[in-house]
């Protein structure tokens, strides 16, 4: 069970699960707490992981949304995320995965350029979101956004599928990527 597949398990009733993958534990915990605080009609489950592959002995529900958290202040987080990407099935990138880059506001501390993350997201055809997880307001807004994306990925929003959300999120990014 080394590769994470999106649809290998049946979904739980009214349940949506998000898996946050990132090297920075504190940030992940904060984000998880904010997500659980958001108002959501369905029940949210947040799982945290430092890297993939996940140990296969644990019984866990099917993952609806996969969020890779990259801290722009540390190159190690980028490297661990890149390593984890190999253990993800390709069908995850049809709208059930997204990249979250944090810490872009403070330029002097950034060791990873934001264009690197943008290009990484472009290779995997997934949306990339920017926020500052250490600021309360930004974290709460991002948590709400992720909760909404999670609901759509889990299929709880009728009429909108994960792939249509993907193409919706794509159109604003692509013009800038042509210059990259």
Q: In what order do the strands lie in the sheet with 128-131?
A: 43-49, 15-22, 65-71, 97-102, 128-131
Is residue 91 part of the contact set for another protein (CB under 8 A)?
Answer: yes
Nearer to another protein, 88 or 131 (CB): 88
Work out whether 176 is an interface residue with another protein (CB under 8 A).
Answer: no
CB of 77 to another protein, least distance (A): 27
State which residue, 22 or 95, has the beta carbon closest to another protein.
Answer: 95
Binding of another protein by 154 (CB under 8 A): yes
- Identify which of residues 62 and 145 has a Cβ nearer to another protein in the complex: 62
Q: Which of 158, 175, 178, 179 binds another protein (CB under 8 A)?
A: 158
User: Considering the rule CB under 8 A, would residue 14 count as an interface residue with another protein?
Assistant: yes
**Residue 149 touches another protein, criterion: CB under 8 A:** no
Q: Which stretch binds another protein (CB under 8 A): 27-35, 40-48, 126-134, 139-147?
A: 40-48
* Three-state SS sequence of the chain: CCCECCCCCCCCCCEEEEEEEECCHHHHHHHHHHHHHCCCCCEEEEEEECCCCCCCCCCCCCCCEEEEEEECCCHHHHHHHHHHHCCECHHHHCCCEEEEEECCCCHHHCCCCHHHHHHHHHHCCCCEEEECCCCHHHHHHHHHHHHHHHHHHHCCCCCCCHHHHHHHHHCCCHHHHCCC
Work out which of 119, 145, 156, 169 binds another protein, going by CB under 8 A. Answer: 156
Pair 100, 142: CB distance under 8 Å: yes
Among 86, 164, 173, 176, binds another protein (CB under 8 A): 164
At its nearest, how many Å lie between another protein and the CB of residue 160? 8
Does 77 interact with another protein (rule: CB under 8 A)? no
Distance CA 94, CA 113 (A): 25
Residues in contact with another protein by CB under 8 A are: 7, 11, 13-14, 39-44, 91, 125, 154-159, 161-164, 167, 170
């Amino acid at each position: 069970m080394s590769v994470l597949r999106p649809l290998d398990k049946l979904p739980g009733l009214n349940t949506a699960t998000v898996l946050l993958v990132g090297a920075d534990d504190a940030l992940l915990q904060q984000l998880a707490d904010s997500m659980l605080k958001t108002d959501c009609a369905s029940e949210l489950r947040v799982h945290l992981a430092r890297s993939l592959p996940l140990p296969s002995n644990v019984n866990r529900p099917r993952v609806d949304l996969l969020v890779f958290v990259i801290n722009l202040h540390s190159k190690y987080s980028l490297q661990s995320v890149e390593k984890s990407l190999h253990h993800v099935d390709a069908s995850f990138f049809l709208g059930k995965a997204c990249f979250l880059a944090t810490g872009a506001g403070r330029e002097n501390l950034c060791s990873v350029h934001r264009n690197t993350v943008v290009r990484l997201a472009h290779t995997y055809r997934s949306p990339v979101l920017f926020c500052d997880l250490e600021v309360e307001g930004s974290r709460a807004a991002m948590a709400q956004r992720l909760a909404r994306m999670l609901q759509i990925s889990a299929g709880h929003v009728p009429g909108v599928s994960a792939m249509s959300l993907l193409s919706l999120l794509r159109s604003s990014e692509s013009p800038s990527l042509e210059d990259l």
